[in-house]
């Protein structure tokens, strides 16, 4: 026997936090809490079975935007002098996101049991391992507010990169979708009406025959085309979300063979790798552990380059010397890291290296976005010209022949 149960965390009129559970529907639970004058912070389902509550809510991994908000707000509250429990309580009150609020609640429960902040946030991949390791080192070094702000900057940088990449991809996708719509319309509506005017002598042309056959196939089998497109689209989304590691490695290898994409990928990969290294270094993590984490979080040539740097470091070399030996790193990487080693500011100068790669990535993406528009326009014009050449060209030629015979 089982019935629905709702666990809640709420704030009363005096600002005191209350928690508990209510049996019944979600609407009933909200109404009951409202009648008691409680403001709901989080309301999540569980099942009551044989007198035991089995929580069925699952904390999903936080997105980059949620991580930025989480780390930045906690850093601000720490700098304002609030304790961790007070900071989490204030942060929950300002949230409209139930997943993050539930995550904050789980952190509070673990802190109440005596866990550290790093141990409390280490909950089944909700926060990336890089952030957990940085927080663990920051707690030991007493630099928690500074590292929280650095982590917020780090995930804000990731968010900007994704938005930049999405902006470069959206325009071509929209243009190709409109082009496909125009071509389908011409094949289904225009070609059948024009087909009767085509002279028999031109029906044997390969381009004309191809257009006519495509038009017939779309008119007869359009339900199957729609069904197949939907199945392929849904299957592609599912496969992409569950893509195996070998598939990502194959995509990386293909990208590294394309001249322009190779440069963009290299700048982006090195930018994020050096920023991760800077965050871990400023958190107080030893260089060998930081390099191991960076190589584990990278892919392709960047991962191999940092693995070689780690081997050289364990062999007694400095990071700048290891970077000078590897031709994958530009010359300025060695010079900047060497200067940071001399001044004892590894984290600061590693971040400068990251900024150079990030500016290069942004400039390449801007140039790529500027080139996409004329290329897409040329593709559209070429596709429409092929249709016109295959259908209207023979008709025009036939009319010209008729005009010559009349004269």
| Nearest CA-CA partner of 340 in 399, 281, 253 | 281
Same domain for 44 and 70, yes or no, is: no
Same domain for 284 and 209, yes or no, is: no
Q: Which domain holds residue 177?
A: 171-253+378-406
Same domain for 353 and 392, yes or no, is: no
Question: Distance (Å, rounded) from C-alpha 102 to C-alpha 125?
Answer: 15
Positions in the chain short of pLDDT 70: 1-5, 24, 41-42, 44-58, 93-97, 124, 195-205, 240-241, 243-249, 255-256, 260, 392-407
Same domain for 194 and 127, yes or no, is: no
Residue 304 lies in a domain: yes
Looking at residue 401, what is its pLDDT? 55
| Nearest CA-CA partner of 68 in 108, 14, 128 | 128
pLDDT in tens, 382-394: 877 777 777 766 6
CA distance between the termini of the chain: 95
Residue 367 lies in a domain: no
Same domain for 280 and 199, yes or no, is: no
Residue 258 lies in a domain: no
Last residue of one domain, picked from the residues 157, 191, 206: 157
Residue 138 lies in a domain: yes
Looking at residue 49, what is its pLDDT? 42
Residue 165 lies in a domain: no
Question: Distance (Å, rounded) from C-alpha 180 to C-alpha 79?
Answer: 55
Same domain for 13 and 49, yes or no, is: yes
Same domain for 183 and 239, yes or no, is: yes
CATH number at residue 50: 3.10.20
Record the pTM. 0.64
Longest dimension (CA), the chain: 102
- Contact between 123 and 113 (Cβ < 8 Å): no
Residue 369 lies in a domain: no
Same domain for 322 and 302, yes or no, is: yes
Same domain for 102 and 149, yes or no, is: yes
Question: Distance (Å, rounded) from C-alpha 165 to C-alpha 162?
Answer: 5
Number of domains in the chain: 4
Last residue of one domain, picked from the residues 130, 157, 184: 157
Instruction: Please give the helix or strand (H or E) that residue 46 lies within, else none.
Output: strand 39-49
Could you tell me how far CA 51 lies from the centroid of its own chain?
Answer: 42
Same domain for 68 and 51, yes or no, is: no
């Amino acid at each position: 026997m089982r019935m629905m149960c709702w666990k809640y965390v709420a704030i009363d009129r005096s600002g005191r936090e209350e928690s508990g559970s209510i049996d019944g529907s979600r609407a009933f639970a909200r109404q009951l809490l409202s009648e008691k004058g409680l403001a709901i912070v989080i309301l999540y389902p569980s099942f009551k079975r044989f007198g035991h509550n089995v929580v069925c809510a699952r904390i999903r991994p936080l997105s980059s935007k949620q991580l930025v908000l989480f780390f930045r707000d906690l850093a601000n509250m720490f700098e304002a002098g609030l304790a961790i429990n007070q900071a989490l309580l204030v942060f929950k009150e300002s949230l409209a996101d139930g997943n993050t609020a539930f995550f904050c609640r789980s952190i509070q429960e673990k802190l109440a049991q005596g866990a550290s902040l790093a141990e409390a946030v280490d909950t089944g991949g909700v926060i990336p391992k890089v952030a957990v390791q940085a927080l663990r080192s920051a707690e030991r070094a007493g630099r928690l507010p500074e590292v929280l702000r650095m982590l917020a900057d780090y995930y804000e940088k990731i968010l900007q990169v994704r938005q930049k990449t999405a902006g470069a991809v959206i325009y071509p996708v929209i243009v190709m979708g409109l082009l496909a719509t125009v071509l389908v319309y011409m094949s289904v509506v225009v070609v059948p009406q024009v087909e009767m005017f085509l002279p028999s002598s031109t029906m044997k042309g390969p381009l004309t025959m191809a257009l006519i056959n495509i038009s017939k196939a779309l008119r007869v089998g359009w339900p199957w085309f729609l069904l197949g497109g939907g199945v392929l689209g849904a299957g592609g989304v599912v496969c992409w979300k569950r893509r195996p590691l070998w598939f990502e490695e194959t995509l990386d290898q293909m990208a590294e063979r394309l001249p322009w994409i190779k440069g963009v990928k290299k700048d982006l990969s090195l930018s994020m790798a050096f920023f991760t290294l800077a965050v871990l270094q400023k958190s107080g993590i030893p260089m060998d552990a930081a390099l191991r984490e960076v190589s584990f979080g990278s892919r392709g040539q960047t991962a191999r380059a940092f693995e070689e740097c780690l081997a050289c470091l364990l062999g007694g070399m400095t990071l700048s010397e290891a970077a000078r030996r590897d031709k994958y790193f530009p010359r300025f990487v060695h010079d900047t890291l060497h200067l940071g080693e001399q001044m004892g500011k590894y984290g600061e100068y590693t971040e400068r290296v990251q900024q150079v790669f990030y500016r290069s990535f942004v400039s390449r993406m801007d140039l790529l976005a500027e080139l996409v528009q004329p290329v897409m326009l040329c593709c559209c014009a070429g596709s429409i010209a092929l249709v016109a050449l295959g259908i209207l060209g023979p008709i025009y030629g036939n009319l010209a022949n008729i005009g010559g015979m009349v004269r």
